[in-house]
Amino acid sequence: MEADITSQAVGLASNTDFSLLSLFLRADFVVKSVILMLIACSIYSWAVIIEKYKLFKKINLESEEFEIKFWKSKSAESFYNNLPINLENPLALLFKDTMQTVLKAKTKTNLNERISSMVEVNIEKQMSKIDKGFTFLATVGSTAPFIGLFGTVWGIMNSFQSIAISRNTSLAIVAPGIAEALFATALGLLAAIPAVVAYNKFNNDSKKYSQKLENFSKRFISII
């Protein structure tokens, strides 16, 4: 009798498809929703990661070239007059906004103080553009494992219900449900790990670039 039950369980397990697509299709509505949410978060996270990687690579290179050209120029005003109309680099935009304030100033009284306060505002403005998307990465990194865990708990609950209904404690009966549940946890980790690593890296890059803007602005203000 026991041998028959064992052979049936083995046969059931061998006939069950454990491919990722099959695990998704067999899952109930809640687990499917969790899986789709985690896949969407992962895709968008990678889009943000790729975009930020290209952004930091671009602005760091352009900023270095800008500083070299600036410090080799005859004067800040002549360099400002030769700037391209369409600027995208944060350092170049910071310089442009600062020079506009200097040239529009009717009096030199407290000019450095006014420029310093304006520079701080402009740095925050530029950094807010650069840091856009960081909150999403941090949110995915901190919540995705728990969302996946919720899907896992829900799937295991369904598996225990299957045991109660079928009155069969064989692992082969509940293996598909448990596999679906664990699939949700795996997706949660798959979404969270790259998001956390990318957030830490880009947050560090952002701090370095912010320091670059501050150092340039201090040197620039000192020569006005």
The sign of the dihedral angle between the CA atoms of 74, 78, 80, 83 is negative
Q: CA–CA separation, 148 vs 197, rounded Å?
A: 18
DSSP string spanning 60-82?
HHHHHHHHHHHHHSS-HHHHHHT
Is the pLDDT reported for residue 109 higher than 90?
no
Element (H, E) at 202: helix 171-223
Q: Is 205 in contact with 144 (CB distance < 8 Å)?
A: no
With cut-offs at 50, 70 and 90, classify the pLDDT of residue 107.
low
Average pLDDT for 56-79: 89
To the nearest 10°, report the CA torsion of 218, 220, 222, 224: -140
Tokens describing residue 25: 């299709």
Residue-wise pLDDT for 138-193, tens only, equals 999 999 999 999 988 888 887 777 677 766 666 666 666 777 778 888 899 999 99
Residue-wise pLDDT for 13-57, tens only, equals 445 555 766 767 777 788 888 889 999 999 999 999 999 999 999
